[in-house]
Amino acid sequence: MRLLIANRGEIAVRIVRACRELGIESVAVYSDVDRTQPHVLAADYAVRIGPAPARESYLDQEAILAAARRVGAEAIHPGYGFLAENASFARAVEAAGLVWIGPPPEAIELLGSKTAARTLASQAGVPVVPGTPPLANPEEAAAFARQVGFPILLKAVGGGGGKGMRLVESEAGLAEAFARASSEGCAFFANARIYAEKAIRRPRHVEVQVLGDRFGNLVSIGERECSLQRRHQKVLEESPSVAVDAALRARLGEAARAVAQAAGYRSAGTVEFLLEEGGAFYFLEVNTRLQVEHPVTEMVYGIDLVQLMIREALGEPVPLRQEELVPRGHAIECRVYAEDPLRGFAPSPGTVQLLQRPAGPGVRVDSGVRSGSVVPLDYDPMLAKLLVWAEDRPAALRRLRRALSEYRVSGIATTLPLFRLLLDVPAFVRGELHTGLLDELLASGSVEALEAASDPAVEEVAVVAAACLAAREAERLPEDGFVVAEREGGAWRRAGRRLAQGRFPR
């Protein structure tokens, strides 16, 4: 079998690895700027799909389907981001006679509307935050706020990832916030409609992994704590949550399964909740795809979610039993971005001159870059995910400190200093988390602390690394942009491609 990965970066590399273990041939797609990126070099086949802008490459549905036809792919995995939650693309994949590795298009469409998902959850008996249907104007939002009290959240109907979301503390700033949220919703999701929710003060953000199949089997696979966020975007995740005991875990899992069953869900997905002190929780939304933070669940429950997604799409039942899904140990994930925390998290594009990844017991790095990789401005700035696992949270924190001390990146700025700083924040170490903790920390004037958490040793080798890179000679791929590493001698062919593309010194 041959599977095309409609994505790039670390998630594409992750899917290649799952395919290889399943004995499935993998197909990478790439834009011009990604020609020599690790996901291209790792796959068995690679096909050019367009220039750098995402709308002309990774968001071009016809280009991706044409690539699948050209190389004879039989299935498509969308990863996350780009077209992963696009119901029309899922339908186009199935109409082309290919296997769509993800939930049914109908479920994507239903749950992709935040207001429709809220209604579904309420009908399933799951508590939801007080909110509104789509609003026509700021005046309707003001009327809702007067009813439930400020603050409120304005949210894009088709939103996610913190886009199209504004916290409004008073009526004075409501009109401007409404306009900005609507504008972002239109820009990121082609949907300018806005709804409002009552803002829950200092909640935790806890999500439940679900996995279903076409035979009616549906399991919840524990929870992930995602409260460490910067401007509503997740930065660090862990499992299990220190705020969730076995009884609450069972209640959260039951609620997540109820929502998924009501939507006719199958494949992997995530049901997200806001959790208040005392154990009260409210449905937030459903992400109808693989999550960035899925590896923390994999490490704690000893499963491979990507392989399970593929096997389910090929008609196999989910092989997991709910009563056997008990967490083991503790896992933490840090999202490593090409952003400069010393300069307001400004983007930091450029060339990775030196990359030294941590290793050792209980350490995993899912990376989409290597030494010499060019990090463009065209896409999401996430470079890699650093994960650690240990027998409990204190041990995991110690392991994370060790792993961060080994992580070296030069040539671009990264968010690694932020994670080193967090390990010295008492509230984080104690597990006293809420969704505003990181923003409060950064607003308190932490630049000096971030500078102290930076690793000066990286700069000492930057000149040497630059000289090594300058000595490498990269050759162009064939003009037709079609690279093949056949099964017979595949490892040798892949090594030849890496050599030709500057992967090894001459």
**3-class state of residue 159 by DSSP:** strand
Supply 34's token pair: 């990604």
Q: Which residues contact 366 (CB under 8 A, 6 or more apart)?
A: 10, 11, 13, 14, 295, 384, 385, 387
Based on the residue annotation, tell me whether 289 is a catalytic residue of this protein: yes
Of residues 87, 10, 4, the one with CA closest to residue 369: 10
Rounded to whole angstroms, the Cα distance separating 221 from 252 reads 10
Q: What's the CA dihedral at 247, 253, 257, 259 to 10 degrees?
A: 100
Q: Which of 14, 118, 289, 364 is catalytic?
A: 289
Rounded to whole angstroms, the Cα distance separating 412 from 139 reads 45
Q: Is 130 exposed, middle or buried (0-12, 13-18, 19+ CB in 10 A)?
A: middle
> How many CA atoms lie within 13 Å of 93's alpha carbon, on the beta-carbon side?
32
Rounded to whole angstroms, the Cα distance separating 178 from 184 reads 10
Cα–Cα distances (Å) from 107 to 102, 219, 273, 289, in that order, read 10, 17, 19, 11
CB 450 within 8 A of CB 417: yes
Q: Which amino acid is at 239?
A: S
Q: Which residues contact 499 (CB under 8 A, 6 or more apart)?
A: none
CB 224 within 8 A of CB 210: no
Cis, peptide link before residue 327, omega less than 30° from 0: no
Just list the catalytic residues.
289
